[in-house]
Chain A
Amino acid sequence: MIKKKSIFQLLTEKPWEKDQIEADNQHEGKTVNLSKQKLGLRTIMAASTVLFSLFIVAYSDRMLISDWKNMPEPWLLWLNTGILIISSLVFHMTTKYAEKDIFDKTKNGLYFIGFLAYSFLIGQLIVWYQLMNTGYYATSNVANSFFYLFTTIHGLHIVGGIYFWGKTTSKFIKKSLKKEEINNLIDTCAVYWHFLLAVWIVLFGLMLST
């Protein structure tokens, strides 16, 4: 185990002092108690958060100009949001099953999550189709442009998630990894799913409220 240290504690260490030398010689080489996949995911989530925040800043700035016309939110978006919430819940339960080593339930959970993720993407495409049929093109107004941009970028994140979900699921079915290793991967995917749900709720909330 690694003792938790704040960044200030880390940066004020005096590596030349006797006590510090003794403590440092016992150091195991890791900074935090996380698998490299989990820490990697956190790094990616931090970068993604910056990306979405900047989109939101751009949205809020552009909104102030008078040509802005709000667009309607089709009811299907609520359904899609529901799908995301359910898939996040299922993923949470699946991690619990994986921890308890219940193979069948974990497997079914993983399949169901994949199904939900694809349904979400198809749902979003249907929303696009509906909006275009009613004349809300990406170029008609900048509010629409932002809607299409947000859904695309969020959708691409989901596609990335599906790629890693696929890899994890196939490894799980083949039982090619040790229990801790595969559980680590499933947990990592679950965190990403929750993150994408949070991002979607923020984006959807922003578009609803303006």
Chain B
Amino acid sequence: MSDEYEHKLEAKSDYVGDASSVSTPDIDAVPAAELPDQELYHSHSWWTTYVFSQDAKYIGIQYALTAVGTGLLGLVLSWLMRIQLAFPGLGWLDPASYYQFVTMHGMIMVVYLLTALFLGGFGNLLIPLMCGARDMAFPYVNMLSYWAFVVAVLVLLASFFVPGGPTGAGWTLYPPQAITAGTPGSDMGIILMLISLILFVAGFTMGGLNYIITVLQLRARGMTLMRLPLTIWGIFTATVLAMFAFPALLVGCLMMTLDSLLGTSFFMPAMVSLGETLTHEGGSPILFQHLFWFFGHPEVYIVALPAFGIVSDLLSVHSRKTIFGYRMMVWAIVGIGALSFFVWAHHMYVSGMNPWFGFFFATTTLIIAVPTAVKVYNWILTLWRGNIQLSLPMLFSLGFIVTFLNGGLTGLFLGNVTVDVPLSDTYFVVAHFHMVMGIAPLLVIFGAIYHWYPLITGRMMNETLGKIHFWITFIGSYAIYFPMHYQGFVGVPRRYFEIYDSPYIDTSTLLLNKFITIAVLIVGAAQLLFLYNLIVSARLGRKSEKNPWKANSLEWQTPQMPPEHGNWGKELPKVYRWPYDFSVPGAKEDYIPQNQPPSEIIGAKVEKT
């Protein structure tokens, strides 16, 4: 076995050696650019440079800032809810506002923060740079996409100021209660929420079109799909999922808007409300649940797949080691993406379904655990005997692995119908999904921001503040969500705005609620520290050298850092290898950038993975 391995290594070095003995330009040969270089829009005024920008890098930053701004509102809402839960005696919130805050917190965090930040933010920033393109395929459409997102956010925020306030139907917006009198915001609030979602989907479709075409058609010469960084694979697959999943949300939103505005009966059954028989008849609320979750479950992976991709690259760069099992990682991303369309009904076990139907969805759900486990093993094996740098991105990536594993394991339990039914309406579920799709992707986002911050600003973020931020966030989120698992086991129901002293509620619950709330306040405040770091470092941070992390992928190889308009100066980069050639034996440096020609790295034995 080992002989064979040695032999292959020799063959490899022979190849490089041979090539060097032939004329040098030959081994660097790449085909001439057959296509004319992409025409770019050049801005002429302050408005078209900074506001209505068509440069993907700016659009990415705009997306990210808008998403983070909206996310801060979601954070504040969670503070308000937690204070109410811990200290119900204060009379802090009435039930209506509690439900409104729950709804808005959920929707903002899932759609307007995570989806927008991963795809709109990191997608726009990284896709052209990592693929070696000058910009997105359709820069104008890309700009429209961002502004549609802004309008969607504004419509969403407007719902706080309309009579009746925002909708309080829960982020799943189940009819009939979402549009029936008695639910907070059942007239104006829900309409604005639905319109905002429709705008978001329209805007996202325009952006998604750009991400897909750019990844497929505008890559640099030599950049095959299997040489792409896993970040791009994650974002690309997530975009494809979103293009197929968001239509389901659109259909649900459109039909519910009509039910509410015109009085149609798509989802609304015959009902008596406040003593009056409503005009609706025959509608099917379950139909909405199917549509919603056909969107809702892929949505989980729309958030998770970019996180998977980004964390793979962070782990590889910061442990100076090739990603373990690159192809397996790609297959896992694609496989998870495909499977995610066959599991949606596991969110509906308690809706009263045929047991065989539940059995089918439990099986598919557990099958998804296989590629996901492959990814976790591969991350750990990437770290194995790596030259691990405990930089900020690495800390957050390690935090991600642990947290994702944690949330994933509780997912295995909840995927089974018999376990899910009693736990479904308890805090166990709240703990599960916050761990797996709240904290885990957020840790990746933080890691990614610390990693790519120098690429955007040319400066490093403060390391000490970052470490404080990491430890408070990491330990704090466990202080918040571990107790919630326990609360779920002892049967504390979720969605209740007040857990008071009753014989059914253990006294430990009340104490834990206070503990959790204090942790929430501290963790939330630590995010302000992060924001302070983010803002102040842009001006005062240590100047970063070019390629500060010594990474291989193309975004660090631009002639200027931060990259200028058009990214690549005169000539587009040529790619000779994948982005994971770290610590190659015989090479001068412990990294070989993707665009370094073979003639410059003679003697390096490119290792088989």
Contacts and interface: CB of A to CB of B under 8 A. Distances in A.
A98 to B, nearest CB: 21
B609 interface: yes
B221 A29 contact: yes
Given A11-B327, A51-B251, A145 B226 contact: no
A61 B266 CA distance: 10
B264 A10 contact: no
Contact of A138 (B209, B258, B331, B578): B258
A161 to B, nearest CB: 16
A21 B221 CA distance: 13
Interface stretch (B71-79, B276-284, B360-368): B276-284
Which has the most chain B C-beta neighbours within 10 Å: A16, A18, A46, A142?
Answer: A16
A15 interface: yes
Contacts of B251: 51, 54-55, 58
Nearest to A145: B264
A88 to B, nearest CB: 24
A44 B266 CA distance: 26
A12 interface: yes
Interface stretch (A62-70, A79-87, A110-118): A62-70
Contacts of A149: 254-255, 258
Interface residues of B, number: 62
Nearest to A46: B243
B344 to A, nearest CB: 12
Interface stretch (A32-40, A99-107, A127-135, A186-194): A32-40
B150 to A, nearest CB: 21
Contact of B263 (A11, A29, A51, A139): A139
B327 A36 contact: no
A61 B284 contact: yes
Given A40-B213, A62-B287, A139 B227 contact: no
Given A11-B334, A40-B213, A62-B284, A30 B219 contact: yes
Contacts of A138: 258, 262, 264
A27 B223 contact: yes
Contacts of B294: 54
Interface in B217-239: 217-227
Contacts of A153: 254
Given A13-B224, A14-B327, A36-B218, A67 B265 contact: yes
B244 interface: yes
Contacts of B264: 138-139, 142, 145
A54 B248 contact: yes
Interface string A3-27: 0000000111111101001001111
A119 interface: no
Nearest to A33: B217
A156 to B, nearest CB: 11
B222 A16 contact: no
Contacts of B221: 27-29
Nearest to A153: B254
A25 B262 contact: no
Interface string B567-582: 0000000001110000
Contacts of B132: 29
Contacts of A51: 247, 250-251
Nearest to A12: B327
Nearest to A21: B577
A39 B218 CA distance: 12
B250 A142 contact: no
A14 B76 CA distance: 48
Interface string B12-35: 100100000000000001110011
B222 A31 contact: no
Nearest to B249: A54
A40 B209 contact: yes
Contacts of A208: none
Contacts of A145: 258, 262, 264-266
B326 to A, nearest CB: 7
A50 interface: yes
Contacts of A108: none
B305 interface: no
A43 interface: yes
B291 interface: yes
A146 B34 CA distance: 49
Identify which of B132, B213, B218 gathers the most chain A CB atoms within 10 Å of its CB. B213
A47 interface: yes
Contacts of A21: 576-577
Contact of A27 (B224, B247, B282): B224
Given A11-B334, A31-B217, A65 B576 contact: no
A114 to B, nearest CB: 23
Contacts of A36: 137-138, 213, 217-218
A32 B217 CA distance: 7
Given A44-B209, A51-B247, A142-B266, A26 B30 contact: yes
A28 B35 CA distance: 9
A30 B243 CA distance: 21
B606 interface: yes
A24 B577 CA distance: 8
A164 B571 CA distance: 32
Nearest to A62: B284
B263 A47 contact: no
A21 B608 CA distance: 12
Contacts of A14: 226, 327
B281 A67 contact: yes
A183 B308 CA distance: 41
Nearest to A31: B216
A65 B284 contact: yes
Contacts of A55: 251
A76 B294 CA distance: 36
B244 A50 contact: yes
B212 interface: yes
A34 B576 CA distance: 24
A40 to B, nearest CB: 5
Given A25-B29, A44-B209, A18 B12 contact: yes
8 contacts: A11-B225, A13-B225, A29-B218, A54-B248, A58-B255, A62-B266, A62-B284, A145-B258
Interface of B: 11-12, 15, 29-31, 34-35, 132, 137-138, 205, 208-209, 212-213, 216-227, 243-244, 246-248, 250-251, 254-255, 258, 262-266, 279, 281-284, 287, 291, 294, 326-327, 330-331, 334, 576-578, 606, 608-609
Given A46-B243, A58-B266, 5 more contacts: A10-B225, A28-B34, A36-B217, A145-B264, A145-B266
**Lowest 10 CB-CB distances: which A-B pairs, in order?**
A67-B282, A51-B247, A145-B264, A29-B219, A31-B216, A13-B226, A50-B247, A15-B226, A65-B282, A54-B251
